[in-house]
Chains A and B, each alone.
Chain A
Amino acid sequence: MAVTPKSKTSGSRVLGIETSCDETSVAILDYAVRGTKNEVRLSHHETATQIPIHRRYGGVVPEVAARTHIAEVIKLLERAGVFASGKPKFDAIAVTKGPGLATALRVGIEAARTLAYITDSTLIGVNHLEGHLASAWLVPQNRARWEFPVLVLLVSGGHSELVLMKDFCRYQVVGRTRDDASGEAFDKTAKLMGLSYPGGPILSKYATRGNPDAFRLPRPMIHDPSLDMSFSGLKTAVRILIHELGPRTQDVLPDLCASIQAAIVDVLTSKTARAIAAYKPKCLAVVGGVSANPHLQKELRKVASEFPDLIMLEPPKGFYTDNAAMIAAAGSWHLARGKSDSISKLDAAPELDL
């Protein structure tokens, strides 16, 4: 049976706002219970990626616009119809409160506080990482099969964590990287090979044509009994390899990429397997930017198939990178549990943990 948050009301509408680092994003999520069926519908979702900001502003970056999200968030809220006449009504406004940059987080938080005050809505501060966990729940097939505990592998440019979700709003980080995140390992080894930024996706494209066993790269901490991971050593290993290969590097690029990808994915999958054995979750999910990697998806499915009772959830297609839909989804979990924040007190929590 599908598990969904208990809700007092039969329907709710949540506005989600995300401004924690590079992305500005706004979403409107409608959650309704019809008979025994629950429906989650994203009626609006838009993200403005800020990375190529110098390009977006035609080479001139206005001081205040650089990564500050202010112009972006107002534009996105406007396009979501939030300022339209006839006072929009939200049951809740969910906003990322951390972790992230204080200045970036505050842009979203101030917008959310103001809107919550004007529209008399419930304000909910959401942990960005909890948002990523909720991205798996946004996939309809996953909601239909969702059963706690859920083990989530959260992999992105800034994160590599194994999180055990015991219930909605109840999390335990059981493993994490001790240095670089896995997405960072992809991007930085790609940089060492001269691939353009962000190199991770380019690396994985080359890898499809290469032999993953061509070069033996280290898999640090893979035999360590803890669920922690380490990726910073790959930079040194790849640097040495490139040094040895010299001009041949370009000829063996697909093999090199496939070998790097295999090393990263191996660490992620073996730690995930260890975590499944230790915590016996009912479901396994993978979320975050790196969860879009097809090789990782394939290898995780293999791992999951070794545990006959484990349900492998689908990767959150459309919600891999930072977005407000996942923040709204996590907000709906809080709302269903009667959890909210004070409009006068909600502030950025840059160092927030799960």
Chain B
Amino acid sequence: MTRVNKSAAGNGRRATITIGNVIRRSDVPDVAAWEGFADEVKTLIGPGNILAISGELGAGKTTFIQALSKVLGIKKHTLSPTFSLMRSYRLPRTYQGIKRIIHVDAYRFAAERELVVLDLDEEMADGSSVLVVEWPEKIPNWLSRHASKTVRIHID
């Protein structure tokens, strides 16, 4: 926490999408601009995909996920799942085979094995969910097992 990134400190954000070895950068000048970015992201995902959203405390991970939920038509407001660890949201209408968003926040995990309590493999077994994870750096092993299905987004 010694380095304070000036851009993450206030004036807009930058989001970097990584899928395999394809990297794409977008400027997100203000909170409202996340919706345009989410519109772009939603075309890249399908059921079974994992969106790993990284970025320091307050970078805008939850804010982006709120925008993504909104562009997917979810009416319920997305809240920070830091304390609840996991929340899920149903899409009112299936989009590209996606029926549900599972929102996980690994921030409070002291060890990756605490992940067992979320039973993620079971949650994803319906074949129609997309998993969105904040603080993916806390669960590197689980994510590396699902690398081929993972889309990484870094916010700074």
Contact = CB atoms under 8 A, between A and B. Distances in A.
A232 B60 CA distance: 9
B88 A350 contact: yes
Contacts of B113: 61, 63, 66
Interface string A170-209: 0000000111110110001001101000000000000000
B85 interface: yes
Interface in B101-142: 110-111, 113-114, 116-119
Contacts of A351: 87-88
Contacts of B82: 157-158, 180, 184, 188
B116 A68 contact: yes
Given A232-B62, A236-B10, A351-B87, A179 B80 contact: yes
Interface residues of A, number: 38
Contacts of B62: 179-180, 232
A102 B66 CA distance: 23
A293 interface: no
B32 interface: no
Contact of B57 (A63, A99, A192): A192
Given A101-B86, A243-B4, A66 B116 contact: yes
Contact of A184 (B9, B80, B116): B80
A192 B63 CA distance: 19
Contact of B118 (A103, A158, A188, A192): A103
Nearest to A194: B1
Q: Is the interface of B mostly helix, strand, loop or mixed?
A: loop
A235 interface: yes
A201 B61 CA distance: 26
Interface in A129-167: 156-158
A205 B137 CA distance: 31
B79 A239 contact: no
A180 B114 CA distance: 22
Interface in B36-73: 57-58, 62-63, 66
Contacts of A66: 111, 113-114, 116-117
B57 A232 contact: no
Contacts of A178: 77, 79
A236 B88 contact: no
B8 interface: yes
Nearest to B82: A184
A67 interface: yes
Given A239-B8, A240-B9, A101 B57 contact: no
Interface in B2-20: 4, 6, 8-10
Nearest to A185: B80
A99 B85 CA distance: 12
B84 interface: yes
Contacts of A242: 4
Interface in A41-74: 53-54, 61, 63-64, 66-68
B79 A188 contact: no
A103 B110 contact: no
A100 interface: yes
Nearest to A184: B82
A104 B1 CA distance: 33
A93 interface: no
A262 interface: no
A350 B119 CA distance: 13
A235 B84 contact: no
Contacts of B57: 188, 191-192, 235, 239
A67 B58 contact: no
A103 B114 CA distance: 12
18 contacts: A53-B114, A66-B111, A66-B113, A66-B116, A67-B116, A68-B117, A101-B84, A101-B118, A103-B117, A158-B84, A181-B79, A188-B57, A188-B58, A232-B63, A232-B80, A239-B4, A239-B57, A350-B88
Q: List the 8 closest A-B pairs by CB distance, nearest first.
A: A235-B58, A158-B83, A243-B4, A67-B117, A157-B83, A180-B80, A240-B9, A236-B58
Given A181-B83, A184-B83, A243-B4, 7 more contacts: A21-B83, A66-B117, A156-B83, A157-B82, A188-B57, A235-B57, A350-B86
